[in-house]
A = this chain, B = another copy of it.
Amino acid sequence: MNSVAELQDFIINGHKHYMPHMSIDAAIFGYHDHQLKILLSSYKALDGYCLPGGYIRRTETLDEAANRIVAERTSLTDLYLQQYKTFGDPDRIKWNEMDFENFSKKLELKYIKDSWLMDQTISIGYYALTDFSLVTPQADVMSDFCAWFNINEVPPLLFDHDQMVKDSLHALRMQLYYYPIAEKLLPAKFTLTEIHAVYETLLDKKLDIRNFPKKLVFLGLIKKLNEKRNIGPHRAPFLYKFDKKKYTKALETGTTLT
């Protein structure tokens, strides 16, 4: 099936395979070398940018759907992915039958009145974090563009996606002290300088290099190893790793703060 035929079929029959009234939108953050970016997409025949998203197959759990949607754009299946909030204001999408008719016309599709895609929709927000240097963004059947934007250069987005970026970034930053969010951005054994750079960039603020690691150790997220890395004459900093056992237990029992 070519992409027009595929899209036409999706508009007519999609609700047989996907849950109507709901979507997933993903804030996919990318870190590399002191830089934080976010993946933005644009829909075919619509002006403006938005977060990549998709629909939930009737046979999928939400996590499975989110993993698939993120993998479709990033080709990655092993990134940090977390549900953070569901958005359900009835006014969240201002998109009506006339817009849909124009959209259909522009793409040379048959206009289908009362398509399931025009249903009132809630959206389940996920955020993901990966190393952007590993990812070549992919557009999909609904979109014609997908690319990394610097986090501080995000243009105003469509629908309620500005709020999604704000809330997802907030969730990521809150959880940074409790979940091993940065695990895949660092080598298995890392120096304090390395994790410090990642945390400063993700939090977008300066962190005291002496107090910061104490807090992470105190909270049970990382532990110091009896091992050093030689990086030059007289320079051999200690190595650390994420303390999987400790934070898993802490998360199960509630909080890491005693």
Instruction: Give residues in A with beta carbon < 8 Å to B.
Output: 19-22, 56, 58-62, 65, 83, 85-90, 120, 122, 124, 169-170, 173-174, 176-178, 203-205, 207-208, 211, 215, 251-255, 257-258
Contacts and interface: CB of A to CB of B under 8 A. Distances in A.
A177 B56 contact: no
A135 B4 CA distance: 57
A84 to B, nearest CB: 9
A170 B253 CA distance: 8
Copy count, this protein chain: 2
A90 B176 contact: no
A85 B63 CA distance: 12
A215 B176 contact: no
Contacts of A174: 178, 254-255
Contacts of A207: 258
Contacts of A85: 83
A105 to B, nearest CB: 29
Nearest to A203: B254
Nearest to A21: B21
A176 to B, nearest CB: 7
A203 B255 CA distance: 8
Given A19-B122, A22-B22, A255 B88 contact: no
Given A22-B22, A203-B254, A207-B258, 7 more contacts: A19-B120, A20-B20, A21-B21, A56-B88, A62-B89, A177-B257, A205-B254
A41 to B, nearest CB: 22
A255 B219 CA distance: 14
Contacts of A177: 255, 257
Nearest to A252: B170
A178 B89 CA distance: 25
A254 B176 CA distance: 10
A158 B208 CA distance: 49
